[in-house]
Amino acid sequence: MFDLNNIIDFLPYSLQQAEKTELYIDALSFLTQYHDEHCEPYHKILKALNFDHTHQCAIEDYPFIPVRLFKDYAMLSVADVDVIKTMMSSGTTGQKVAKIFIDRKTSGYQTKVLAKIMASFLGPKRLPLVIIDARSAIKDRAAFSARGAGILGFSMLGYDVFYALDENLQLDIAGLNAFLAKHQHENILLFGFTYIIWEYFYRKLLALNIILPLEQGVLIHGGGWKKLNTVAVTSDIFKSSLNQVCGIKKVFNYYGMVEQAGSIFMECEKGYLHSSIFSDIIIRDQNFSVCPKQTGGLVQLLSLLPHSYPGHNILTEDLGEIVGIDDCPCGRYGKYFKIHGRIKDAEIRGCSDTFT
């Protein structure tokens, strides 16, 4: 029987795809059967598909569910009393939001795996942390938005956490300078959502003609590309612009969603997103057939973490392509890929696209 605890101490990018595939055949068999037996809406889906979970099959043949189902149904695989927090996807006014119900076991997996993935990029030592956002984003510890969930998750990776924005999203220049002076001989970790960083950190520093001493800093950011694309801000422009106002050289994007929190896909030094041993990606065409490498299509995501809800195998509304497998110049094993955007007419749902 698959048990995530048996691989929790593996290095996140240490398995070649062939080894990972063997692991996922067992994992998906177990997770699909578990959620079939414990989640009534999921059971009805499998029954309608005539899927027999008692027989193992190829990874791509396990049934995926559209991510929008989490907006229409309460998808729980545990009792209500076991839910310790609820995470909600982002959505503009009038849109439904997905509700993801988290129990203690799933929460523990999310925390451990996120720490493992980030340690492989940052090292095992915790760093002084600047959150480029307002503390109010995490004020409700029982019901998180995607933005709040991301902030809370990453805040556990650093120490002496400083929130760089006040409640009106104004940059606290004095407080930030004091924090940097306090940690002037240390590497600094910064985290935030892409659009918020651009609008309320970069543009403010640029307007004030301030250059912060962050040459040794590391910035992790995600979400919010849709708004920046409308003003022609590419990843390269984003990185060079941040370097202009604070000298930062290490800027890493990540791809993830609240429906699979914890098992994020980090951007490597060569600019590609990577699946760790705790997650995987499949690309499908308009007929839902599996696409070969370097062919664009719909993004399907697999995660080994969800225990309290059937989020282990979901079809997103994003478009992407797998660039290669096991041979990224950065040296990490597994699939590496690019995200190209969202399908036409899909709702805006990035963590920082839709904040108010």
Which residues lie below 8 Å from residue 25, measured CB to CB, with a gap of 6+? 56, 58, 59
Report yes or no on 275 lying in a domain: yes
pLDDT of residue 35: 96
Contacts of residue 317, Cβ cutoff 8 Å, sequence gap at least 6: 67, 68, 298, 342, 343, 346, 347, 349
Q: Is residue 92 situated within a structural domain?
A: no
Give the whole-angstrom CA distance, residue 277 versus residue 259.
18
CB 127: neighbour CB atoms within 10 A? 20
**What is d(CA 104, CA 89) in angstroms, rounded to the nearest whole number?**
20
Which three-class secondary structure state does DSSP give residue 164?
A: coil
How high is the pLDDT of residue 348?
A: 42
pLDDT confidence of residue 115: 93
pTM (2 d.p.): 0.90
**Residue carrying structure tokens 């600019």:** 271
Residues 6 or more apart in contact with residue 166 via CB below 8 angstroms: 134, 172
* DSSP code per residue over 193-255: EHHHHIIIIIHHHHHHT-----TT-EEEEES-HHHHHTTT--HHHHHHHHHHHH---EEEEEE
Residue 112's H or E segment, with its range, is: helix 104-122
**CATH classification at residue 117:** 3.40.50
Name the domain count of the chain: 2
Cα separation, 63 vs 53, in Å, equals 10
| Together in a domain, 131 and 60 | no
| Model pLDDT for residues 180-217, shown as the tens digit of each residue | 999 998 999 999 999 899 999 999 999 999 999 999 89
Question: Per-10-residue mean pLDDT for the chain, 356 residues long?
Answer: 90 96 94 95 94 86 94 94 87 70 95 94 93 84 69 89 94 96 94 92 94 94 67 81 94 92 93 97 96 97 97 95 97 96 62 40
The reply to whether 134 and 207 lie within a common domain is yes
CA dihedral 329, 261, 48, 286 (to 10 degrees): -40
- Expressed as residue numbers, the domain containing 118 is 109-255
CB < 8 Å & 24+ apart, contacts of 18-21: 20/277, 20/280, 20/333, 20/334, 21/59
Mark whether 115 and 244 lie in a shared domain: yes
- What does the pLDDT read at residue 2? 87
Residues 289, 231 share a domain: no
What's the confidence (pLDDT) of residue 354?
Answer: 36
